[in-house]
Chain A
């Protein structure tokens, strides 16, 4: 396999008396979707915030395309090609799609907004994602939840990133909209980006991920290839034990079904 586009080694992060992350390794390759799963408090959010430059890591190294980098703040992470789509979408409801896509990175010509160039580029981005948005000149408030998620994901592509982080992209969505977003994630992979998806939803994870990276209590717990993992194995890795009630009941049911 090719060398990873994003590679973390031995990442540690401590908040006061709490060791949130210790000795975490994490790789993403081009054209690969890696799901980051774990129970509440497993350290997923902390890891994402370290990758997106919000927190600095206490120990460990981060490499992008094999070059060691230091991420000083979200802007530097963005400049290095890491785009993050946060859970609460962070779009301005009163602005239209074009304005939101280019917010903070507007294209100007002689000091004036180049609306036409931004609008054409918006259509390009949306077409790249095969996104179903009828008009880019409607305010965000007029869009459905799935369409907003689409705009948020499209916005992460404006700066031509190498890696896209998606924090709970399907958390607040209905069935059809979830399918739409999962398709988007697939298209991000096809266009050669490294994609990291943080999710609680095992069905979504198994539908779209190539690899699943499990964190438990701030450590690497397990790593699975999507082809050779069952939901039971995942749950066991996340909870850290095969002898908890959920696993027990599952085991009992399996025994009953196969007498």
Chain B
């Protein structure tokens, strides 16, 4: 029996390991790189720093790394979304700073409850994003300019909210500080999580297999799915085991990864996500097909600013204080650089939320490694700049390779 989607005689039918490898090489040549450059880069960086200072890959340092990545990494999730539309948000740093300041002032000076303060900070981000979206769709102002204006204006707002003192310390007993610094999964829960992740993967894949079989479409074998689920469980369990030698899997990094998995699902499996990619690929085509293009823009800008605000809240918790320098230039550039280094195209329509995860890990590894080796901050800026340039070059080259091999 031939499957509906495998009927064409021109399709390469071979599924031996060698054919799969050839397939991979072909994909790489035609510029379909996906996550490969960033994961390779991450491994290289880890090996190099491990050679320079073995403490780099110690359990303690990796736990620290996961905690440090999560704050700006959360902001980077929003950056991936705007990049998918081929737009940019330069103001995420200021928005995260303003959100942190709002949180701190409401919590400390106004005596609001923690949850209310967090919600207010997130709402501030949401409103800013809605404003950007409306400016872009109603008046056609380029996002580059709107958010550049926002970068300045909301930095000013942050200073104003903070008032004369300039620094607000969160109360030491705050649950937020506890969450961002001292909350970790107990060992048993981390292994349970590994099993749960594996089972969830297995369940969704098996359901997909069943649906494809029912529709007479080709599908990977059940065995390969089970193997992958087992490997995934083993990988998560391995990470958990290694981090458990020290404090374990932190609540904040867990939230970050959870958000990434959720956003990835929304982008790949819902109409909204499909439309985000369509608008990023060909806005006019999407409009003619009946996609509510304006609504996509507004929703993405709103989400981006909200993730920036969430990053600001987490950073406030992690640093236990909000100051005038919270969300400064570093934050902005790191968040944008992480998304690009992770492989999300600056040209729109291509990329995945996972680039926020891997891109941020690369940047934070560089920071942490250089600190361990004991070099000055200026070297870090230079190295980060070089890595960013390399990532954008890879993006441009693979775009050219896709053009010449006719795959977009």
Asked whether B282 lies within 8 Å of A92 as measured between CB atoms, the reply is yes
A-contacting residues, B252-273, CB 8 Å: 269-271
Q: Residues of A contacting B282 with CB < 8 Å?
A: 90-94
Q: Which of B208, B270, B285 has the most CB of A within 10 A?
A: B285
Nearest residue in B to A86 (C-beta to C-beta)? Answer: B288
Asked whether B281 lies within 8 Å of A135 as measured between CB atoms, the reply is no
Asked whether A120 lies within 8 Å of B407 as measured between CB atoms, the reply is no
Asked whether A92 lies within 8 Å of B211 as measured between CB atoms, the reply is no
Asked whether A139 lies within 8 Å of B269 as measured between CB atoms, the reply is no
Asked whether B269 lies within 8 Å of A113 as measured between CB atoms, the reply is yes
Asked whether B289 lies within 8 Å of A120 as measured between CB atoms, the reply is no
Tell me whether A123 is interfacial, beta carbon within 8 Å: yes
Tell me whether B14 is interfacial, beta carbon within 8 Å: no
Shortest distance in angstroms between A29's beta carbon and chain B's nearest beta carbon?
27
Asked whether A140 lies within 8 Å of B408 as measured between CB atoms, the reply is yes
Asked whether B5 lies within 8 Å of A123 as measured between CB atoms, the reply is yes
Asked whether A113 lies within 8 Å of B271 as measured between CB atoms, the reply is yes
Asked whether B290 lies within 8 Å of A95 as measured between CB atoms, the reply is no
Asked whether B271 lies within 8 Å of A90 as measured between CB atoms, the reply is no
From A55-63, A104-112, A173-181, give the one contacting chain B.
A104-112
Asked whether A90 lies within 8 Å of B274 as measured between CB atoms, the reply is no
- Chain A binding site: helix, strand, loop or mixed by DSSP? loop
Asked whether A94 lies within 8 Å of B277 as measured between CB atoms, the reply is yes
Q: How far is the CA of A111 from the CA of B284 in the complex (A)?
A: 25
Q: Residues of A contacting B281 with CB < 8 Å?
A: 92-95
Asked whether A116 lies within 8 Å of B280 as measured between CB atoms, the reply is no
Q: Residues of A contacting B215 with CB < 8 Å?
A: 116-117, 119-120
Q: How far is the CA of A112 from the CA of B274 in the complex (A)?
A: 11
Q: Residues of A contacting B217 with CB < 8 Å?
A: 116, 119-120
Asked whether A134 lies within 8 Å of B402 as measured between CB atoms, the reply is no
Q: Residues of B contacting A94 with CB < 8 Å?
A: 277, 280-282, 349-350, 408
A-contacting residues, B121-158, CB 8 Å: none
Interchain CB contact (< 8 A) of A75 among B4, B8, B290: B290
Interface flags, A97-129, vs B, CB<8A=1, else 0: 001000111101001110011011001000000
- Number of residues of chain B lying within 8 A (CB) of chain A: 35
With A90-B282, A95-B281 given, is the CB distance from A113 to B408 under 8 Å?
Answer: no
A-contacting residues, B148-197, CB 8 Å: none
Shortest distance in angstroms between A235's beta carbon and chain B's nearest beta carbon?
34
Q: Residues of B contacting A99 with CB < 8 Å?
A: 274, 277-278
Asked whether B408 lies within 8 Å of A112 as measured between CB atoms, the reply is no
Shortest distance in angstroms between A201's beta carbon and chain B's nearest beta carbon?
24
With A111-B270, A116-B214 given, is the CB distance from A90 to B280 under 8 Å?
Answer: no
Q: How far is the CA of A104 from the CA of B10 in the complex (A)?
A: 30
Asked whether A92 lies within 8 Å of B271 as measured between CB atoms, the reply is no
Tell me whether A142 is interfacial, beta carbon within 8 Å: yes
Tell me whether A136 is interfacial, beta carbon within 8 Å: yes
Interchain CB contact (< 8 A) of A139 among B275, B288, B290, B408: B408
With A95-B281, A108-B271, A137-B5 given, is the CB distance from A90 to B289 under 8 Å?
Answer: yes
Nearest residue in A to B406 (C-beta to C-beta)? Answer: A142
Nearest residue in B to A139 (C-beta to C-beta)? Answer: B408
Q: How far is the CA of A78 from the CA of B291 in the complex (A)?
A: 14
Nearest residue in A to B403 (C-beta to C-beta)? Answer: A141
With A75-B290, A119-B217, A120-B217 given, is the CB distance from A135 to B408 under 8 Å?
Answer: no
Q: How far is the CA of A94 from the CA of B282 in the complex (A)?
A: 8
Shortest distance in angstroms between A236's beta carbon and chain B's nearest beta carbon?
36
A-contacting residues, B187-231, CB 8 Å: 208, 211-212, 214-217
Asked whether A134 lies within 8 Å of B408 as measured between CB atoms, the reply is no
With A112-B269, A141-B407, A142-B406 given, is the CB distance from A92 to B285 under 8 Å?
Answer: yes
Q: How far is the CA of A89 from the CA of B288 in the complex (A)?
A: 10
With A104-B286, A116-B214, A141-B408 given, is the CB distance from A136 to B278 under 8 Å?
Answer: no
Asked whether A90 lies within 8 Å of B214 as measured between CB atoms, the reply is no
Q: Residues of A contacting B386 with CB < 8 Å?
A: none
Asked whether B270 lies within 8 Å of A139 as measured between CB atoms, the reply is no
Q: Residues of A contacting B270 with CB < 8 Å?
A: 108, 111-113
Asked whether B8 lies within 8 Å of A134 as measured between CB atoms, the reply is yes
Shortest distance in angstroms between A153's beta carbon and chain B's nearest beta carbon?
14
Nearest residue in B to A112 (C-beta to C-beta)? Answer: B269
Sample of 12 A–B contacts (CB below 8 Å): A92-B285, A94-B408, A95-B278, A103-B291, A104-B291, A111-B270, A116-B211, A119-B217, A120-B4, A134-B8, A139-B408, A142-B406
Residues of A within 8 A of B (CB): 74-75, 78, 86, 89-95, 99, 103-106, 108, 111-113, 116-117, 119-120, 123, 132-142
Residues of B within 8 A of A (CB): 4-5, 8, 10-11, 208, 211-212, 214-217, 269-271, 274-275, 277-278, 280-282, 284-286, 288-291, 349-350, 402, 406-408
> Given A95-B277, A106-B274, 15 more contacts at CB 8 Å?
A92-B278, A92-B282, A93-B408, A94-B350, A99-B277, A103-B291, A104-B291, A116-B215, A119-B5, A120-B4, A120-B217, A123-B4, A141-B408, A142-B407, A142-B408
